[in-house]
Amino acid sequence: MLAVVLVEPETPGNIGSVARVMKNFGVKRLLLVNPKCNHLDGEAYGRAMHARDILKAAVVVKNFGCLEKFDYIIGTTASLGSDYNVLRSPITPGQLAQQLSQRFGGDKSRTGIALVFGREGNGLTNGEVSGCDMVVTIPSAMEYPALNLSHAVAILLYELFKGSASIRSHIGLASRTDKEVALSMAGEILSKLEFPVKGKRKTHSVVLSRMVNKSFLTKREIFALIGFLRKVLRMIGK
């Protein structure tokens, strides 16, 4: 199930506007991480219009770590890194929509997906970005790349809604547990290898994690990968 997550939102009106946008695109699940305002404020209700049911059903959680129950955590950012900043190497909304559509079309009910939006002032921290499986950015003018919160939500949900009807798949995606098993085995392999430059092992670990998560592997694919990694571990152990 797709959920919109707002990290430490500061303005009730913005939360209400986001709820209204969610209603436009049929997304019902709203999570608020440590909000700095009352999401049931009169201003929020006024902006939400016919989406007040989404505000009333919104779930408030204490911290970013509460999102670990989702199979995929997709962060949004306007702050891009260089080629060497793997954590902030983004995909576009169109690429995200295509990936999701190819895997399960309009049926997102079997996989937990969190679409995470950062603070109105300074977005997501580096620590929060590192807790995401991937990041997506909306192409915009470089002199002022940051969009209004509800506008950013609208663009992302529009892209996902637009692409949801193209392909419908009955094949299940890898769960967070499946991915953690594979990445744990990959980490064990990396720990047995020698690297001439300090920090390279961690870089390889981050890159592998991003590759696995950006690929939206199916159950069959992740099991094949786990089987391959298990054989590599056996060979290293000899």
Share of the chain above pLDDT 70, in %: 87
What are the angstrom distances between the C-alpha of 232 and each of 71, 153, 190, 220, 228? 26, 43, 11, 19, 6
DSSP symbol at 197: S
For the chain, where are the alpha helices, taking DSSP H only? 12-24, 42-48, 52-57, 93-104, 126-130, 149-163, 176-191, 200-214, 219-237
Domain ranges of the chain: 2-163, 176-237
Q: How confident is the model at residue 144 (pLDDT cuts 50, 70, 90)?
A: confident
pLDDT digits (tens, 9 = 90+) for 30-46: 999 999 999 999 999 99
Question: Residue 117 — φ and ψ, nearest 5°?
Answer: -120, 135
Domain at 2-163, CATH class: alpha beta
- Token pair in block for residue 221: 């694919």
What is the pLDDT averaged over residues 126-146?
A: 85
Residue 84 CA to residue 81 CA, distance in Å, equals: 7
Residue type, 198: K
Smallest Cα–Cα separation from 116: which of 75, 145, 86? 75
pLDDT of residue 85: 55
pLDDT for 70 beyond 60: yes
Summarize pLDDT for 104-117 with one digit per residue, the tens.
554 545 568 999 99
Q: Tokens standing for 213? A: 């998560």
